[in-house]
Amino acid sequence: MKRRFALSSVAALLAAIMVWAVGGAVLGTSGSEPLQVEITIHYSHYEPAAFRVPAGRPVAIVLRNTDPIDHEWIVGDAALHARHRTGTEPYHASRPTEVTIPALSTITTVVTFASPGSLQYICHLPGHEAYGMVGTVTITP
């Protein structure tokens, strides 16, 4: 029994080390460190297109646009995205959940997701959503 516990512990430790080595989307997961998520925008796609964060903690989202065109990162529920699909707001800078990332630039925004659930992040520039600029953030309890 003791041996099986030791084997399981070592296996779990090894798995954690490999995950750390490859690099996850969410960094600094210890309680004291601020959470950070890095999203690269390349060829008009988000990389990663999904990540998980805990509810109620500030998360620094680093958005790195490697494309020579502007993009957006707008996160929210279906109603918010429906509004943006027909919206006319040319530039997003006033809300942390709605960000314009100019061509070849990096923007960091800090978001606290209040409650558990799932939200989409989408670029609402013409044609970008249809081209696949959609991602999902899962907020865990």
Partner 1 sequence: MRRSTKAHRLALAATSALVAVFMLAGPTLACAGLIGPNGAVNLLRTTTFAGYHDGVEHYVTAFKFAGGGGKFGSIVPLPGIPSDVVRGGDWTLQRLVRETRKQLLFEADLRAAPAASGAEVLLQTRIDALDITILRGGGADVGKWATDHGFRLPPDSPEVLDFYAQRSPIFMAASFDADAAKARGQSIGDGTPVHFTIPTENPWVPLRILGLGKTPGATVEADVFLLTDHRPALLPRPGLVPGLQLAHSDAASDSLLADLRSDKGMGWVPSSAWLTQIAIDADADRLTFDLAVDASGKDTPSMVAAGFVSPRPPAPATPPADLSRIGLALVVFAIGAAFVLGLMATRPAGARPA
What is the contact surface with partner 1 in residues (CB under 8 A)?
Answer: 1, 3-4, 6-7, 10-11, 13-14, 17-18, 20-23, 40, 42-44, 47, 66-70, 72, 84-92, 100, 103-104, 123-131, 133
Q: Please say which residue, 36 or 57, places its beta carbon nearer to partner 1.
A: 36
Task: In angstroms, give the least distance from the CB of 138 to partner 1.
Answer: 21
Nearer to partner 1, 42 or 95 (CB): 42
- The dihedral over CA atoms of 118, 93, 33, 58, expressed in degrees to the nearest 10, equals -40
- How near is the Cβ of 141 to partner 1 at its closest, in Å? 29
Strands (DSSP E) found in 26-124: 26-27, 35-42, 45-47, 50-54, 58-65, 71-76, 98-101, 106-112, 117-122
The residue behind tokens 């209040």 is: 114
CB of residue 115 to partner 1, shortest distance in Å: 27
Comparing CB distances to partner 1, the nearer of 40 and 136 is: 40
| Cβ distance to partner 1 smaller for residue 55 or 69 | 69
Nearest Cα to Cα of residue 97 among 76, 71, 77: 76
AA letter at 89: E
Tokens of 109: 């925004």
Beta carbon of residue 93, minimum distance to partner 1 (angstroms, whole number): 11
Type of residue at 39: I
